[in-house]
Amino acid sequence: MPRLDEIKSRLSLGETQKMIFESYPDLEMSYPQFTRYVKKYCLSEIERVTKVPPVSKAEPEQTKSSDGRAVEQPRKAIRNPGDLKKLRSQSIDLEEIQNSAGEEDESSNS
């Protein structure tokens, strides 16, 4: 494939395959054929450019057991309107959330 090194460098700079294809009106191939060639010969460049960093999992919620130890509870997935209604009806202790986030209790600053 002609211009392979140039196409690889343009991919590494973040240009899309469509942008590169349109900049070569003299190519004697269709866009789908061009993308197949790019995938075959430039796959490492495409993977490097489009690589997404891994997403960290959210920590499960913790509650205290009867003896005071923290017990992790996995978050329950909302699967239907009934689950959403239960979630909305739960009370929220904002002070506990702030304390678990490591923020100081504002009421003790007085």
Query: What are the tens digits of pLDDT across the range 27-65?
Result: 889 999 999 988 888 877 767 666 655 555 555 555 666
Contact 17, 38 (CB under 8 A): yes
> Strands 61-64 and 70-73, how do they pair?
antiparallel
Q: What residue segments make up the domains of the chain, in order of their start?
A: 4-50
pLDDT for residue 81: 81
Quick one: what percent of the chain has pLDDT higher than 70? 61
pLDDT for residue 60: 52
